[in-house]
Amino acid sequence: MPTHSRRILHAKPRLTAALDRWLRPMQQKGALTLLFISILATTSLLYTLPIVWVSSRISRDILEWQDARMPLMQSIGQNWSVLPNIPDFQTGDEPHVRAALREHLLLLAVVSRREGTVWVRLGDRLVACPDPTRSNRWRSWVKQAEVEGRFQWVPPKEMNPDFPRAAGLVLLGDRFGMVKLWHIGSDEVEHHLRFLQANKPRLQVGLRRSEPKEQFEDATAAWTAPPNLQAGFRRGEHSPSEILLTGDAMGDGWEMVGRPLPEDESSMTADIRFHRKVAWSAYVLVAGGLSFGLYLRYRARRQERLDSDQIASLAHSLKTPLAVLKLRCDSLRMGNLPPERTQAEFLHIGEEVDQLVVLIENGLKSLRIHPGQSARSPVPEGFYEESAGEMKSLFEQEARNLLFEIEPVSHQAHVSSLRAALATLLENALVYGGGTTRVKGTKIGQIFQISVSDEGPGVGPQQLEQLGKPFMRFRRNGAEGFSHEGQGLGLSLLFQVSQREGWGLAFLSRPGAGFEARIELPQ
């Protein structure tokens, strides 16, 4: 009869299949990859947050400072662009002329639009300009403003012989064209700024070219030092806290810039440093707390893995002896053995039960030991003979000697861990070794060394390198099966315990020369 079969395939959507292909390598690598990604993301976030917070605080402080000084900055810019109110005059020394000149300290000259007469400022009054060159220049400025039909006209740099040291402005009135000049670093500008700030300095103000190559620079810049209110700028220099004004009255390429006074700048710098200290202190505390928490979690997971390995090794160590016991019990239950053989099987069963009891007790003792649960304490006198008392009868049944050579020197250790380690070494010497087994204890400097040696066949270099690996068992030469029963987990547990306790552990052997295990206890 032909065999019929039915095969059902569950096709996944493309998106699900692609997600599975992406997640499968991560699942194979385990949770360490995800933990690394999460730590990297958390660290990046924690590193970015202080920077963002400090930047926002700095921006807020700068904005508050700018909002508080902006009205003053606007009044300075407005005074520069406003036409002075000067009615008709005859001598230039009239009271209303003096009052207008006091309010507009940067007003340099007044040009009559009808007669072309040029009046130049001399202190708080106007006088006829004695310099024909300057008179012709200012007339040409006013004339050009009239031609272009602009009430606010800035002479280009080609018509301004003081460029880039000074910025000019022409304001057209009904009868007069008025010329203003901001001469960088001049006393007139300094008096102008002090007058507008009402002798209560709040910021420094200066003119700057937007093209760095055209920026005027004074090598000494004495007029920028406190308590002067004029600000100077190096080529391409900008500050995040500056207040910037531009417009038609400033002219193409000119910027009016307000900067904090030195005391305000120092206060802002101190606030910035404080914000940074607070932010990075919080970062260090949070990052340190998370790191410490991850470290504690790592230690807990490591202890959990160690406990799991110990439970697994104990279960595997019990599996084979229990199977042998079951087989022997089945043979006795069948009743096919002669009486003398039956009695021998009972003795073997008793011995194996005793070995199982020792194995279970040592495993439970090891499971009950955790770092920090018991502090190091002095090892009591007679500890080694007492700990090996359970094994003495087994050595006697094998007609083997068990000798102790312990120096009467005080030393410290985790007693429970040391008892479990000693039981493991004695059990290995009993099962795998031969001849006399010696337990020696010697103080070498700051280390107390314990060695367990026997006179058995020993192991070769390659086998010696493999000791301590879980489930590592040596096969019989030229035959099937293993040299000894068990699962090869005893020394693996010893490796884990010694690593946990901070002991030194060494194995010495060569074929035909016995085997020696050394435990080094730091004092």
Least-confidence region, from 192-206, 397-411, 412-426:
412-426
Confirm if 197 and 229 have CB atoms less than 8 A apart: yes
Q: How far is CA 384 from CA 39, 168, 361, 391, in A?
A: 47, 103, 17, 11
Q: What is the CATH number of the domain that holds 373?
A: 3.30.565.10
Residue 250 CB neighbour total at 10 angstroms:
21
Domain assignment of residue 117, yes or no: no
Residue 452 lies in a domain: yes
Measured between alpha carbons, how far is 486 from 423 in angstroms, rounded to an integer? 16
Half-sphere exposure of 176 (CA within 13 A, CB side): 20
Residue-wise pLDDT tens digits, 277-334 = 998 898 888 888 888 887 888 787 777 777 776 676 666 556 666 766 777 777 777 7
- Residues counted in the chain: 523
- For residue 315, give both structure tokens: 């279960």
Between 510 and 228, name the one with better pLDDT: 228
pLDDT averaged over every residue in the chain:
82
Residue 205 lies in a domain: no
- Alpha helices (runs of H) in 104-231, residue ranges in sequence order: 132-148, 187-196
Q: Encoding tokens for residue 171?
A: 């304001």
Please count the other Cβ atoms lying within 10 Å of the Cβ belonging to residue 139: 20
For residue 392, give both structure tokens: 């003495």
Buried-exposed string 144-177: b where 16+ CB fall within 10 A, e elsewhere: ebeeeeeebbbbebeebeebbebbbbbbbeeebb
pLDDT at 197: 92
Number of H helices, E strands in the chain: 12, 16
Helices 339-367 and 389-397: angle between axes, nearest 10 degrees: 150
Nearest to 201 by CA among 263, 257, 268: 263
Residue pair 80/256 in contact by the 8 Å Cβ criterion: yes
Model confidence at 52: pLDDT above 80: yes
Number of Cα atoms under 13 Å in the Cβ half of residue 182: 25
Query: Of residues 170 and 423, which shows the higher confidence score?
Result: 170
Greater confidence (26 vs 413) lies with 413
pLDDT at position 63, please? 93
Asked if residue 490 belongs to a domain, the reply is yes
Residues 342-362 have a mean pLDDT of 73
Contact 116, 151 (CB under 8 A): no
Residue numbers of the domain that contains 486 = 296-522
Average pLDDT rounded to a whole number, residues 66-85: 94
Lowest-pLDDT range, 132-136, 157-161, 362-366, 417-421? Answer: 362-366
Give the residue-averaged pLDDT of 24-50. Answer: 72
pLDDT greater than 70 at residue 215: yes
| Domain contains 10 | no
Tell me: pLDDT of 105 over 70: yes
Does the pLDDT value for residue 25 go beyond 70?
no
Q: Which residue has the higher pLDDT, 19 or 383?
A: 383
| CA 406 vs CA 25, 194, 195, 441, 442: distances in Å | 54, 95, 98, 4, 7
> Does residue 226 lie within any of the structural domains?
no
For residues 49 and 262, give the distance between their C-alpha atoms in angstroms, rounded to a whole number. 30
Is residue 260 within 8 A of residue 269, CB to CB? The reply is no
pLDDT at 27: 53
**What pLDDT band is residue 83 in, cutting at 50, 70 and 90?**
very high
Of 40-49, 95-104, 344-353, 435-444, give the lowest mean pLDDT range: 344-353
In this structure, how many other beta carbons lie within 10 angstroms of the beta carbon of residue 12? 11
92 lies in a domain? no
Mean pLDDT value of segment 360-378: 61
Number of domains in the chain: 1
* pLDDT above 60: residue 221: yes
Percentages of the chain per state (helix, strand, coil), in multiples of 5: 50, 15, 35
Which tokens hold the place of 20?
Answer: 């599975």
* Ranges assigned E (strand) in 264-366: none
For the ranges 4-18, 98-112, 185-199, the lowest mean pLDDT is seen at: 4-18
- Split at pLDDT 50, 70, 90, the class of 106 is very high
Q: Is 426 within the bounds of a domain?
A: yes
Q: Which long-range contacts (CB under 8 A, 24 or more apart) does 318-322 make?
A: 318/356, 318/359, 318/360, 319/487, 320/485, 320/486, 320/487, 321/352, 321/355, 321/356, 321/359, 321/485, 322/356
